[in-house]
Amino acid sequence: MEERGEKMVSSAQLASRCAINAGTVRKDLSYFGKFGVRGVGYYVKDLLYDIKQILGLSKEWRMAVIGIGNLGSSLLSYKDFLKQDYQIVAAFDIDPPKVIGRVSEKLGRPVEVLHIDRIKEVAKERKIEMGIITTPPSEAQNVANMLVEAEVRGILNFAPAQITVPKGYVVKDVFFTTILDNLAYLLSNI
């Protein structure tokens, strides 16, 4: 909306875009403060700024992908990350030579695939704060342990395996088959 030059937006407009309730939009924002103008709405520019502050998006997040198979490779060149200051600055695999020359496009240079053993060293060096696990499930917990060891506090886990981490660390799972199971259930019960 900012790019389109729209100055104001109402909670109703935001709600319709997200397919939720206008009251929910206002209530959710109100949890963090007062960002709108009564009788008018929200200033697009200010709201964008405020939401970025709330979500912790006022900085660049530096990420590593571990496990450069099909999925891992595709994430290395995933365009949408770059639009929002998510940078993939390292890639790891057990078998580094198998994939080379992938490009993190904003940086304008390839992200070389390194051996897993170097996670800790490289994570410190490149100030990595999030790890994306795209290994086979059997390796997921091992990789998570290495990330914890390297003090990478955020993990996005695509491997269909339960991962446990110490307090202060966060894991978000993305299990494709679980989402399909959900779809299958909904389709079976219409």
Q: Which does 92 bind (CB under 5 to 8 A by kind): DNA, a second copy, none?
A: none
Q: Which stretch binds a second copy (CB under 8 A): 38-46, 56-64, 89-97, 110-118?
A: 56-64
CA pair distance 152, 16, nearest whole angstrom? 37
Q: Which of 54, 94, 99, 116 binds a second copy (CB under 8 A)?
A: 54
List the structure tokens of 21: 């309730």
**The one among 2, 7, 18, 28 contacting DNA by CB under 7 A:** 28
Is the C-alpha dihedral spanning 41, 60, 81, 148 positive or negative?
A: negative
Min CB(44)–DNA separation in Å: 11
- Does residue 57 touch a second copy according to CB under 8 A? yes
Among 140, 141, 114, 142, CA closest to 128: 114
Is 9 in contact with 47 (CB distance < 8 Å)?
yes
Q: Closest approach of Cβ 53 to DNA, in Å?
A: 15
Helix orientation angle between 22-30 and 11-18, rounded to the nearest 10 degrees: 110
Which residue, 43 or 169, is less far from DNA as judged by CB? 43
With binding defined as CB under 8 A, does residue 168 bind a second copy? yes
Q: Does 71 bind a second copy (CB under 8 A)?
A: yes
Q: Rounded distance, CA 33 to CA 167, Å? A: 28
The label of the residue with tokens 């200051």 reads 85
Q: Which stretch binds a second copy (CB under 8 A): 1-9, 38-46, 107-115, 161-169?
A: 161-169
Query: What is the dihedral sign for C-alpha 82, 86, 90, 94?
Result: negative
Residue 27 contacts which entry, a second copy, DNA, none (Cβ below 5-8 A, type-dependent) = DNA
Q: What residues line the site for DNA (CB under 7 A)? A: 9-12, 20-24, 26-30, 34-42
